Chains A and B, each alone.
Chain A
Amino acid sequence: MSTVLAPNPQADPMVPVLARITRRIEEVPDVVTFEMEAPDWNGFAPGQFNMLGVFGVGEIPISISGPASEPDRLVHTIRAVGPVSRALAGLAEGAALGLRGPFGNEWPVETARGRDVVVIAGGLGLAPVRPVLYHLLENRNDFNKVILLYGARRPEEMLFTGELSAWRARFDIEVAVTVDHAAIGWHGHVGVVTSLLRNVGFDPASTSAFVCGPEIMMRFAARALVDAGVAPGEIWMSMERNMHCAIGLCGHCQLGPVFICRDGPIFDWARLKPLMMQEEL
């Protein structure tokens, strides 16, 4: 069982440690996965994130995408979209970077014990839920059905395709994937990720859902899950906001009564719905 790591009150939480990239994997265009080593790294809980910084450029929150059961392996998957993420994604094996963390809460896997678990991921959202998928599969007997629904914009943007194939070959996890825009050679499902819900069977009264992706996709996923009969309090999603500190002090990630970094990033839909349905909150 993983637990959220308590902050060290002695250390200055804004000062990073020096981490190094030990392995660099090009996933798809503009997306890389780093395996890293960092001094005093004691592991994390699925759902937590680190602040990764490129010296001279800046620092951004990046979720941890590796297995929590291997505390020595620190894995991050990064899409190059802004100045900092581009600089990060451009780092080579052996390069040094700044690391603070882990921060934030965890996917509530304990509350899902004995229940069906539906994981819905959109685009790069597969990275933050990958640790929870590892956890579900490593502790497979603790859960009833395990279902992964994954949507990407295009077939060539699908992440972790090797692992997806391996999981599809297993009989203890149901995996369905879809793309928004098909290409020649794509024989799979086309459409938004929520359309996959119709094709899978789960007991809505005993289902926990873990959702991560673009905000609009998470809103539609929550609506579809509620329509299917899943309780709003059992639908969990990981939120993204601008963050500068990750420790609840800079104010950037405020969403109504919560700070995403300090109180989240994972919240249930019962709590999030009134906040997410309000534009520009």
Chain B
Amino acid sequence: MADAATPVVIEASALDQLISILKSKGFEVLGPVRRDGAIIHDHVESSADLPRGWVDAQSGGRYRLHQEGDAYFGYTVGPSSWKRLLHPPEQPLWRCGTRDGEIRIDAAPVDETRHALLGVRPCELAAIAMQDKVFLDGPYRDPHYAARREGLFIVAVNCSRSAETCFCTSMGTGPKARECYDITLTEFSDGRFLANAGSTEGTEILGALSGRPADAADVDAAEAATDAAARQITRRLETRGLPEILKTSPEHPRWDEVAARCLGCANCTMVCPTCFCTDVEEINDLASGDSARVQRWASCFTADFTYLHGGGAVRESSRSRYRQWMTHKLATWHDQFGTSGCVGCGRCITWCPVGIDITEEAAAIRGSTEGG
């Protein structure tokens, strides 16, 4: 048993202890699982469900898993972000129908399940913090997001490995978690973990795991593991002065160039852990005559996103849609929420079917702007 403030070294077997303690406390535990050739998030019953020994190879438009080593958390990030849980692709809002001759509107109940997330990457913690600003800190709160978020218990896992598409070091979000977690783990190559608590509840749960207080060598080893992941990162996004450069370059020829490659498929916005746009749609039940309204993920890459009667789409061209997406992410997000809207997870690069690379596009606009 360790002192609350001291990091603890735990064996891999403590993962099962951790999962069962979380379950006994009423949490539904979600973590990484391997499915359909990708690491996604789903229910985990025990450490046997974790994708041990599987790592990913990612590049523009490409994602493949292969077996290598025996780390539980050797992969980086897959196509699903935790947005799928906290701000799901489809969220019922309300239902309306006639009951005893009266029209009634019933709000969709909020999800009060307490979820424990296992294996949240530092860049994903940053993404959750960004969506918190959108959904909780504005003049209006999203009650569904708030309910899921409030009950959350987060076990973060620092990165000991990075993918070719990662650029968290440019965005200041990784590869080591700094905030917004209950427990953080760093996996050592010998199968043990260094564990830190980041909240009272995290301290309590960590204290119940079998382990020993970490010594300076353990802490240094964990530091070395995340440093190694940071050193592996070759992709860079220079953020200095970028908001101004993008906002003052709406007519840059590079937008035409990227528009010629962009398919407007919206994949980047779906996999992005911070993109939050939604449509509100009406659903009719022909049998009961009830109608319901649901909120669904939307994308600024679609034609109807900006449709106005009389004028059609405000952003008609692919050029203007890509420009909107990237300028919002890297420039106007600062105006609206005080931070960048990009965490450097690289998903938009990997899952773009033509491999458009946000870091390359930003550099192209910066390069010719600065170069005169």
Answer yes or no: do A and B interact.
yes
Taking beta carbons and an 8 Å cutoff, which residues of A are in contact with B?
7, 9, 12-18, 53, 55-59, 81-82, 85, 96, 98, 214-215, 240-242, 244-245, 247-252, 254, 256-259, 262, 278-281
In the complex where A85-B309, A250-B278 touch, is A12 in contact with B284 (Cβ < 8 A)? no
In the complex, the answer to whether A247 meets B140 with C-beta atoms within 8 Å is yes
Q: Determine the chain B residues whose CB is within 8 A of the CB of A247 once the complex forms.
A: 138-140
Residues in B with CB closer than 8 Å to A85 are: 309
Contacts of B94 in A (CB 8 A): 12, 14-16
Give the nearest-CB partner of A245 in chain B: B280
A90 CA to B251 CA, complexed, in Å? 44
Asked whether, in the complex, the Cβ of A14 is within 8 Å of the Cβ of B280, the reply is: yes
A257 and B314 contact, Cβ closer than 8 Å, known pairs A18-B103, A59-B280, A281-B250: no
Contact in complex: A57, B282 (CB < 8 Å): yes
Question: Which residues of chain B from 102 to 127 have any CB-CB distance to chain A below 8 Å in the complex?
Answer: 103, 105, 107
The prevalent SS among residues of B at the interface is mixed
Q: List 11 A-B contacts (CB under 8 A).
A: A7-B139, A12-B93, A17-B105, A55-B96, A244-B280, A252-B279, A252-B298, A254-B324, A256-B332, A258-B335, A281-B315
Contact between A280 and B316, CB atoms less than 8 A apart: yes
Question: With A57-B282, A251-B278, A251-B300 in contact, do A15 and B107 touch (Cβ < 8 Å)?
Answer: yes
The chain A residue with its CB closest to the CB of B141 is A9
Question: Min CB distance, B249 to chain A, in Å?
Answer: 11
**Beta-carbon nearest neighbor of A281 in chain B:** B250
Given contacts A9-B141, A249-B142, A280-B317, contact A14 B105 (CB under 8 A): no
Within the complex, which residue of B138, B139, B143, B328 is in contact with A254, where a contact is CB–CB below 8 Å? B328
Q: Provide the bound-state CA to CA distance between A12 and B143, in Å.
A: 6
Give chain B interface residues in 224-241, CB to chain A under 8 Å.
Answer: none
Contact assessment for A242 and B105 in the assembled complex, using a CB-CB cutoff below 8 Å? no
Per-position binary interface string of chain B over residues 276-309, scored 1 when its CB falls under 8 Å from any chain A CB and 0 otherwise: 1111111010000001010100101000111111
Given contacts A7-B139, A214-B310, A262-B139, contact A98 B278 (CB under 8 A): no
CA–CA, A60 to B331, complex, Å? 29
What band does the interface of chain B fall in when counting residues whose beta carbon is under 8 Å from A? Answer: 35 or more
**Cβ contacts B63-91/A at 8 Å (1 or 0 each):** 00000000000000000000000000000
Residue of A nearest to B139 (CB): A7
A251-B308 in contact (CB<8A)? no
Q: Inside 8 A of A53's CB, which chain B residues have their CB?
A: 293
**From A51, which residue of chain B is reached at the shortest CB distance?**
B280
Q: How far is the CB of A264 from chain B (nearest CB, A)?
A: 13
User: Is B219 interfacial (CB 8 A cutoff)?
Assistant: no
Among residues of B, the one whose C-beta sits closest to the C-beta of A58 is: B282
Is B336 positioned at the interface, with any CB of A under 8 Å from its CB?
A: yes
Decide if B105 touches A252 in the complex (CB within 8 Å). no
Contact B305 A252 (CB under 8 A): yes
In the assembled complex, the Cα of A81 lies from the Cα of B250 at a distance in Å of 32
Cβ–Cβ contact A241 & B306, under 8 A: yes
Query: In the complex, which residues of chain A have a beta carbon less than 8 angstroms from the beta carbon of B15?
Result: none
Given the known interface contacts A251-B277, A262-B138, the answer about A81 and B291 at a Cβ–Cβ threshold of 8 Å is no
Tell me whether B252 is interfacial, beta carbon within 8 Å: no
Determine the distance from Cα of A244 to Cα of B281 in the docked complex, in whole angstroms: 9
Contacts of A252 in B (CB 8 A): 277, 279, 298, 305-306
Complex CA–CA separation, A96 to B101 (angstroms): 13
A82-B309, A247-B140 as given contacts; A56 in contact with B317, CB under 8 Å: no
Docked Cα-Cα span, A209 to B285, in Å, equals: 48
The CA of A250 and the CA of B140, in the complex, are separated in Å by 12
A-B pairs, top 10 by smallest CB distance, nearest first, are: A251-B277, A280-B320, A257-B335, A247-B140, A56-B291, A244-B280, A81-B309, A15-B107, A257-B332, A82-B309
A-side contacts of B316, CB under 8 Å:
280
Chain B residues in 8 Å Cβ range of A249: 134-135, 138, 140, 142, 276, 278
Chain B residues in 8 Å Cβ range of A57: 282
In the complex, chain A residues whose CB is within 8 Å of the CB of B261: none
CB-contact partner of A14 in B250, B295, B307, B324, under 8 A: B295
User: In the assembled complex, how far is the CB of residue B298 from the closest CB belonging to chain A, in whole angstroms?
Assistant: 7
The answer to whether B282 and A56 have CB atoms under 8 Å apart is: yes
Query: Is B247's beta carbon under 8 Å from chain A?
Result: yes
User: In the complex, are the beta carbons of B96 and A240 less than 8 A apart?
Assistant: no
User: Which residues of chain B are within 8 angstroms of A257 by Cβ–Cβ distance?
Assistant: 332, 335-336
- CB-defined contacts of A9 to chain B, threshold 8 Å: 140-141
CB distance B278 to A245 under 8 Å?
Answer: yes
Distance, CA A175 to CA B319, complexed state (A)? 44
* Whole-angstrom distance between the Cβ of A272 and the nearest chain B Cβ: 14
The residues of A that contact B96 with a CB separation of less than 8 Å are: 55, 98
Q: Which of B143, B277, B280, B308 has the most CB of A within 10 A?
A: B280
- Bound CA–CA A57/B140 (angstroms): 25
Among the listed B278, B280, B314, B324, which residue makes an inter-chain contact with A241, where contact means beta carbons less than 8 Å apart? B314
Residues of A within 8 A of B135 (CB): 249
Q: Check A7 against B308 for contact (C-beta < 8 Å).
A: no
- CB of B233 to closest CB in A, whole Å: 30
A48 to B: closest C-beta gap in Å:
13
How far, in whole Å, are A58 and B304 apart by their CA atoms in the complex? 15
Query: In chain B between 142 and 163, which residues have their CB closer than 8 angstroms to a CB of chain A?
Result: 142-143
Residues of A within 8 A of B308 (CB): 240-242
Q: With a CB–CB cut-off of 8 A, which chain A residues contact B284? A: 56
Given contacts A14-B295, A247-B138, A257-B335, 6 further A-B contacts (CB under 8 A): A12-B94, A250-B295, A251-B276, A252-B305, A257-B332, A281-B315
Q: In the complex, which residues of chain B have a beta carbon less than 8 angstroms from the beta carbon of A241?
A: 306, 308, 314
